[in-house]
Structure 1
Amino acid sequence: MTTGATSPQLVISRAAQRGLMLATAESLTAGALVARLVDVPGSSAAIAGGAACYSFAAKTRVLGIDADLLERTGAVTREVAAAMAEGALDLYAADLAVSTTGVAGPGPDARGTAEGTVWLGIARRDGETLTRELHLSGDRPTIRSRTVDAALSLLVEMLES
């Protein structure tokens, strides 16, 4: 997957053409992904909403993530990325939801997960949930921006499949 190549306009147009509503669940990107999407005129035809859930407590209360899972594994895992996407799918009654969780740095997180480690999750109304692990480089703003780009690319990939 290449990052940086997918425009938010392409995501919105593909979703609108297919009559699909999208949602986001964001930790690492803290709402930057949904903000990029709603910058597109007419995005209300395809965006149900976005949840920026940074803390474990917010992930549990808003997205329904199992608190024991978060305590056991931390937030930067395949399982949490999948659960976040599924939580957003349910929260917003969307057709497709994407999640972002990772370590922007500087340095590793408290559990030793390396800076630049990112998990994306994507859940579809039909019950399919996929995850993708990324290893990004750069400073904190660059890692966060590249994560948004990767999530946009993943959305287009799913919308075109």
Structure 2
Amino acid sequence: FQSGGPVNDILSALSGSPVTIAWLSDPTLALVAVIVADIWQWTPLMFLILLAGMVGVPEDQIKAATLLGANPWQRFVTIVLPKMKTIIIIALAIRVIENFKIFDTLYIMTGGGPGVATETISVYIYKLTTQDLIWGYVAAIALAILIVLSIAAVFAMKRMVRAREVTA
């Protein structure tokens, strides 16, 4: 995402004219660049998790639905998706937790800037800890994050149990 980087080179090749977008200097574009980098980083793991869930879908049920005349969309909605609810919830829980933890990509790409356009809670905590030395406030924020993520994890586990009961 540097001005002379591969993203601008690809855009230049596609448009036929030189493109020099300052991705990490503009607040809106910096956020887009960070989001794209995060998606690029986590898509393979999410794909593997979901693929593992799809492998676990019983083949005989899909064949039976095919014989009964179900089209691919109907098979997906009535068989595959309900069987994969637990896996989807696990994947979403992992992504939510990792989004709270995102630090390295942001700090390397933008340092939380320009301004505070890409500053997440982890970058904010880092800045408070290293620059302002407000340890008590940082500890309180970290405890609040722990409580919120714990509640989210309990909610996700309840959804997984409910999804298991429906498909069982």
TM-score bucket (shorter structure): under 0.3
TM-score calculated relative to the size of structure 1: 0.26
Q: Relative contact order (C-alpha < 8 Å, sep 6+): which is higher?
A: 1
TM-score calculated relative to the size of structure 2: 0.25
Task: Report which of the two has the higher share of helix.
Answer: 2
Task: Report which of the two has the higher share of strand.
Answer: 1
